[in-house]
Amino acid sequence: MNLIKVISRFDDISDPDALIFLMSQQMATYGADPDKERLRKGLINALKESSRAVLFLKSDTGGKPEAFAFANICSGLESGGDYLWINELYVDELLRNRGVATEILNFIDSWCRENDLVYIACSSGLKNDAALSLYRKNGFVTSETIWVDKEL
């Protein structure tokens, strides 16, 4: 039986090296630097005691990571309460088109409802047709948005 675990602390990850390898594969798909040590530091920071970050990790029966969603619980004026921002959603390439991403999104939806979160949001590239189709199929509403950021 494959499991989806909710992880909020780095020490609760059973095989961090395998997860970081999977994350580096995901980063490489969109041109981000897949440096594993930087990813490890980022994950340790994100899943520290004071953080509201959450990792949804799907593993095979042997504990090998197959897919993950990394998210943050945020507070919003517009939403009227806490909501979940999905930063990353990735399924191992060998397991795509088998319903894994939908399984994770359904799990996240239930988890959010159980934890009184009122909204789920994420972003995707306008040309990422597979992701946009996945989100629409799972009840998300898409709109054209310009992403604005500044590196410090």
- Using 70 as the pLDDT threshold, list the residues of the chain that sit under it: 1-2
Distances (CA, A) of 119 to 12, 50, 73, 89, 144: 26, 22, 10, 17, 19
pLDDT per position as a tens digit, 65-87: 999 999 999 998 888 999 999 99
Tokens 């990422």 -> residue: 128
Domain coordinates of the chain in residue numbers?
3-137
pTM: predicted TM-score of the whole model, two decimal places = 0.92
Q: Which residues in 81-103 are b (16+ Cβ under 10 Å) and which e?
A: ebbbbbeebbbbeeeeeeebbee
Annotation: CATH topology of 3-137: Aminopeptidase (3.40.630)
The first and second tokens of residue 32, run together, are 């981000």
